[in-house]
Amino acid sequence: MSAFLTTRSALIVLTLVIAVGLGCKPQSAVDETQGDPFEQMMVIQQCYFDYAIKNKKAPSSKEDLAAGFQSSGYEPSALLKSPRDGQPFVILWGVMPDLQSTSPVVLGYESSSVGNARMVMTTMGVVTMLEDTFQKATFPEGHAAPNNLPTSN
């Protein structure tokens, strides 16, 4: 039993050392012509949540997230623009995320659908949603999915 625990402990330590060495950042295949909208939205989401938790209120504009954007290494204007559709991401400012909810609520999304899907930032994470799923998604009070937006190919 102690040999098992020693081996298991060694594996846990090795895993942690490797994770720290890699920076715990998932490696993703990025299409250099399109950039990585998923990673961009993940940074926006993290800054949004960090601000909300620290200030006990939702961010009201990109200026509220400027410090977080700066530390991410992204230029804010590039970070807030989707490389897939070339349009600014739509961020639902002023919405306090309910971090206890088990149902995803939309907090931001790509302006237009690309190939019948768009990148969507929710309270539960960043996902790619097919357009029909996006149209039926849960939005915060006072917000709704836009209808009949132009679709990029």
pTM: 0.72
Side chain identity, residue 20: V
Distance CA 143, CA 70 (A): 28
How far apart CA 100 and CA 118 sit, in angstroms, is 25
Minimum mean pLDDT range among 6-10, 71-75, 102-106: 6-10
Contacting residues for 4 by C-beta, under 8 A, at least 6 apart:
none
pLDDT score of 99: 77
| Token pair of 50 as six digits | 């960090």
CA nearest 116: which of 86, 89, 150, 81?
A: 150
Edge-to-edge strand list for the sheet holding 117-122: 90-91, 106-109, 117-122, 125-130
What's the mean pLDDT in 126-141? 94
For the chain, percent of residues with pLDDT exceeding 90: 54
Higher-pLDDT residue of 28, 82 = 82
Q: What value does the mean pLDDT take over residues 103-115?
A: 93
Q: Quick check: 139 pLDDT over 70?
A: yes
